[in-house]
Amino acid sequence: MESLLQLIRKRCSVRAYSDKPVEQEKVDALLEAFRLAPSAVNRQPWRVFVVQSEEARVGLQAAYDREWFRSAPLYFVLCGNHAESWKRADGKDHCDVDIAIAADHLILEATELGLGSCWVCNFNVEACRKLLKLENSEWEPCVVIPVGYPSDAEVWSKTEKKRKNLAEIVNYI
């Protein structure tokens, strides 16, 4: 088992997947990681859709029409509900923050299990709502995470990490 920091360093956006299906026990582990994520005031304003049937996959692929995206064997669509999320005294809605934390838990667990993933937010939200039958609902599709075995097993070591250095992002006061 890698340390958490090693796992975080390893994780990268995978944009090419093999056709090997993801085992149900791994799907269950990803969902458990998602479920255990913290949220503001423990409101857990989220739902997740596991998109794996061919019909649903094709529908979701229409909402984000990229060649690489079509290679993923399954997708997780994380949805948030702003009516259920906690709001800070100044009105700041923490729904998107809560969804981001849960997404990160799922993505890191995928990496731990040898699965690739990618954070996708630039999709057609209305097409996604229709696919998930959320048109008349308070639920908002926030992020889509394709998951599968990378087509290149060395993707984690080959992918350059572009991050600012600490001096650019840390302030001590």
pLDDT digits (tens, 9 = 90+) for 53-87: 999 999 999 999 999 999 999 999 999 999 999 99
Q: Please give the Cα distance from 33 to 108 (Å, whole number).
A: 9
Instruction: Kindly state whether residue 162 falls inside one of the protein's structural domains.
Output: no
Instruction: Kindly state whether residue 144 falls inside one of the protein's structural domains.
Output: yes
DSSP letter at 72 equals -
pTM to 2 decimal places: 0.95
- Per the CB < 8 A criterion, the answer to whether 94 and 39 are in contact is yes
Instruction: Kindly state whether residue 39 falls inside one of the protein's structural domains.
Output: yes
Domains in the chain, number? 1
Tokens standing for residue 81 = 């509900």
Q: Give the list of residues 6+ apart from residue 134 with CB closer than 8 angstroms, or none.
A: 79, 128, 140, 141
Instruction: Kindly state whether residue 47 falls inside one of the protein's structural domains.
Output: yes
Q: 1 pLDDT band (50/70/90 cuts)?
A: low
Give pLDDT, residue 99: 98
Give pLDDT, residue 85: 98
Instruction: Kindly state whether residue 109 falls inside one of the protein's structural domains.
Output: yes
pLDDT digits (tens, 9 = 90+) for 109-150: 999 999 999 999 999 999 999 999 999 999 999 999 999 999
Give pLDDT, residue 38: 98
Instruction: Kindly state whether residue 164 falls inside one of the protein's structural domains.
Output: no
What CATH number should be reported for the domain holding residue 146? 3.40.109.10
Instruction: Kindly state whether residue 166 falls inside one of the protein's structural domains.
Output: no
- Per the CB < 8 A criterion, the answer to whether 46 and 151 are in contact is no
Q: Are strands 116-117 and 74-81 parallel, antiparallel or unpaired?
A: unpaired
Q: b/e map of 117-141 (b: 16 or more CB within 10 Å)?
A: bbebeebeeebbbebbebeeeebbb
Average model confidence (pLDDT) across the chain? 96
Instruction: Kindly state whether residue 78 falls inside one of the protein's structural domains.
Output: yes
**Domain region containing 72:** 4-154
Side chain identity at residue 150, one-letter code:
P
